[in-house]
Structure 1
Amino acid sequence: MASNKPAPEAPSPFTADGIGGPERTWEEWNPTAESIRPVRGKHRVAKQRGLARSSTVLGVGVIAAVGAGGMATAQSKPPVSISLPDSIADNLPGVGAFMSEDAEAAPLAAAPITSAGITSAEAEQGTTDAGEALRARILQQAEQQQASADAEAKAAEEKAAAEKAADEAKKQQDEAEAKAKAKIAAEKKAAKEAAEKKAEEERLAKLRASFTLPTSSYTITSTYGQSGAMWSSGQHTGLDFAGAAGSPLKAVHSGTITSAGWSGSYGYRTVLQLDDGTEVWYAHQSSIDVSVGQKVSTGETIGRMGATGNVTGVHLHLEVHTAGGSALNPMAWLNSKGLNV
């Protein structure tokens, strides 16, 4: 570290008033930021940091003395040796250049001097109050943050609205597709049912062409399965067509006569066997017009309505049996052939 001892002073021939007299004693002057007014330019005294007051930081360059002969300049005085510790000179921006012989060519690279807490831009705008400048910056930052938050909230709302609209559109589309599918299914079902109904009508029409009711004028007096003491089994086993005595009884379908004659409680009975083996019994006839083994066609007369056997009046007792002998409901069987009883 270089020494910063002050250079020896030459005795001054001037008195305190600059004219002559006893020699005046000069004291050491340590310049500080408080004692030197900041001056714009490249030769500024930086505020000393961390140095003892007794140390010479920026020693005096020139001591001017005014005398009778005129003004003394720095060039006429012996040079003053000023030095700083290397660590301080390296860490203080601008000091090295200020203290060097090339100070004229190396101006300080310091920021423009403004009031504390005020930026150069604010100073150019005329701001002089640091507190007001800080308040303005805080408000501006708050406004920016609020604007950013509002923008984010708006973006979130728009996104949520878009998603909701998309969901609603998809829901409506799904509902429309479901309705369309249901409509198509209903149309297919209706078409199928219509086709089946038409086919059944055609089938029944063909059956009606080949089947007929056993008598033309009648009244149903007893139905199949009806209970009563008049029947030995306790239930009625056929379907009764009440009508005028002697009314013709017709073959319900083409077939062969397998039985014709008296049959106890049935009175005079005729049995017609169809091609599929089904047997149709005609009971309580007053007379029989066919014989066993005879082939008959649909609508051909096979006998006459009467009141023979166990009866309470004139009527036709009609029974239907399968090829195996099981009894069937005559009304349901006639309906299945397209005949309305």
Structure 2
Amino acid sequence: MASNTPASEAPFDAFGGGAGPAAPDTEWNPDEGTLRSGGRHRVVKQRSNFARSSTVLGVGVIAAVGAGGLATAQEKPPVAISLPDLPDLPDLNLPAAEDLPGVGELFADDQADQQIQDTIAATGGNPNPLTAATYVTPGTDDASATTRAAQASFTTQNATAEAAPTRAADAGEILRARILQQAEQQQASADAAEKLAAEKAAAEKAAAEAAAAEKAAEEAKAKAEAEAKAKAEAEAKAEAERIAAEKAEAERLAQLAASYSMPLSSYSLSATYMQSGSMWSSGYHTGLDFAAPTGTPLKAVHSGTIKSAGWSGSYGYRVVLELEDGTEVWYAHLSSMTVGAGQTVTTGETIGRVGATGNVTGAHLHMEVHTAGGDGIDPAAWLRSKGLSL
């Protein structure tokens, strides 16, 4: 709102802009009353082509800048603008635009219109308003160029205003495309990271499984080797024990052989244990016969005590040697006896001689072996058990 009531103004001066003489080359000097009433001081000192060209140039520049501002404003959201209330202005009888010096050419210069269209086409419909205006050197009278520059600015402003919705749509599509591209890139990066993490996890899992398998294989191999070693050691131990047992048995037999002796040094076996035949009253032979010439010395097979020595019916002369474990060895059919009952003898000592007394068919030694319980056993097996060979 205006705060003061405007004072009456002087008649319009087209050249000076204030009240005063209508002639373009005169001055108007307001008095104190005019200034107090709110009048303005307009002084026209000189009118020339330079002043007219400068005026038109200013209009062109303002138009160009305005066009640029409008083009920029088209890209921004609208802003509400409030204007103050203006008082009613009196009819100033302004001249028509076509009658203004230098401005009327804007409506009649066809060549300038063509140049403007060429400028818009060359700049893609969005020329820089500042560069669209033609710079006019001060002091020249190129009003046409200035006019064309101003017209180009206004035309550019209209073209920019018409193209603003399209540019806004294009900018929105570009922004949308960039957002989608960025989202795709982020998704691709996330997928790549996830794939890399999965591959890394798979590689680590495979490595762990390979390490576990290798460890298990090593453990299995070590276990197999340990078992094989233990088996080999057990076998070696068993073999060593077997060898040791055989050696111990051999030593035992050697000791027995050293402590036991064959009853005859030279002989031939003429009848074996449990051999059947009519010559024996029981139907089978109860001992082992060593055939040898009469008078051949008989040896004690082991150290012991003479239990009996004398005649024994069908056995003829017989000597019974009792050993420490109770075993009895019978010597029968002797021709003579060199020991008596209760006598202690040692291994290899002579106890009698071969003969043919009793129930015989020829000279020989009939030998029997009885356990401590009185049961008869095979004399040949007993002699072998003592390390002796027949």
TM-score (norm 1): 0.56
Number of residue pairs matched by the alignment: 238
Q: C-alpha separation between the residues in 2 aligned to 1:39 and 1:244?
A: 156
Larger-gyration structure (1/2): 2
Does residue 270 (structure 1) correspond to residue 270 (structure 2)? The answer is: no
1:167 aligns with one of 204, 209, 216: 216
Does residue 44 (structure 1) correspond to residue 104 (structure 2)? The answer is: no
**Alignment deviations for residues 160-190 of structure 1 (CA, whole Å, 9 cap, x no partner):** 1111111111112222333333344445445
1:283 aligns with one of 332, 352, 363: 332
Match in the other structure for 1:115: 175
3-state DSSP of counterpart to 1:253: coil
Write the letter of the residue equivalent to 2:299.
Answer: K
1:250 aligns with one of 295, 299, 306: 299
Match in the other structure for 1:27: none
Write the letter of the residue equivalent to 1:61.
Answer: I
Does residue 61 (structure 1) correspond to residue 110 (structure 2)? The answer is: no
Does residue 297 (structure 1) correspond to residue 357 (structure 2)? The answer is: no
Match in the other structure for 1:327: 376
Q: Please list every run of 5 or more consecutive structure 1 residues that lacks an aligned counterpart in the other structure.
A: 1-36, 46-57, 71-111, 120-129
Match in the other structure for 2:288: 239
2:228 aligns with one of 179, 184, 195: 179
Q: C-alpha separation between the residues in 2 aligned to 1:191 and 1:176?
A: 21
Q: C-alpha separation between the residues in 2 aligned to 1:38 and 1:212?
A: 143
The 8 Å contact of residues 117 and 134 in structure 1, kept in 2 or not, is answered as no
Write the letter of the residue equivalent to 1:260.
Answer: A
Distance 1:39 1:205, change over 3 A: farther
1:1-341 equivalences under 5 Å are 44-45=76-77, 60-61=80-81, 114-119=174-179, 142-228=191-277, 230-341=279-390
The 8 Å contact of residues 222 and 240 in structure 1, kept in 2 or not, is answered as yes
Q: C-alpha separation between the residues in 2 aligned to 1:229 and 1:133?
A: 126
Query: Offset of 1:270 from its aligned partner?
Result: 1.7
Distance 1:242 1:59, change over 3 A: same
Q: C-alpha separation between the residues in 2 aligned to 1:184 and 1:38?
A: 103
Higher helix share: 2
3-state DSSP of counterpart to 2:289: strand
TM-score (norm 2): 0.50
Q: C-alpha separation between the residues in 2 aligned to 1:216 and 1:253?
A: 15
Match in the other structure for 2:44: none
3-state DSSP of counterpart to 1:160: helix
Distance 1:151 1:217, change over 3 A: same
Distance 1:40 1:310, change over 3 A: farther
3-state DSSP of counterpart to 1:116: helix
Q: C-alpha separation between the residues in 1 aligned to 2:249 and 2:285?
A: 31
Q: Please list every run of 5 or more consecutive structure 2 residues that lacks an aligned counterpart in the other structure.
A: 1-69, 84-95, 104-171
3-state DSSP of counterpart to 1:179: helix
Q: C-alpha separation between the residues in 2 aligned to 1:114 and 1:40?
A: 19
RMSD: 4.0
Distance 1:144 1:323, change over 3 A: same
Match in the other structure for 1:77: none
Distance 1:113 1:193, change over 3 A: same
Write the letter of the residue equivalent to 1:44.
Answer: K
Q: C-alpha separation between the residues in 2 aligned to 1:310 and 1:44?
A: 155
Query: Offset of 1:201 from its aligned partner?
Result: 4.0
The 8 Å contact of residues 38 and 44 in structure 1, kept in 2 or not, is answered as no
Q: C-alpha separation between the residues in 1 aligned to 2:222 and 2:205?
A: 25
Match in the other structure for 1:98: none
Q: C-alpha separation between the residues in 2 aligned to 1:39 and 1:283?
A: 154
Aligned-residue identity in percent: 48
Distance 1:329 1:145, change over 3 A: same
Write the letter of the residue equivalent to 2:76.
Answer: R
The 8 Å contact of residues 225 and 236 in structure 1, kept in 2 or not, is answered as yes
**Alignment deviations for residues 193-225 of structure 1 (CA, whole Å, 9 cap, x no partner):** 555544444444443333210011223344334
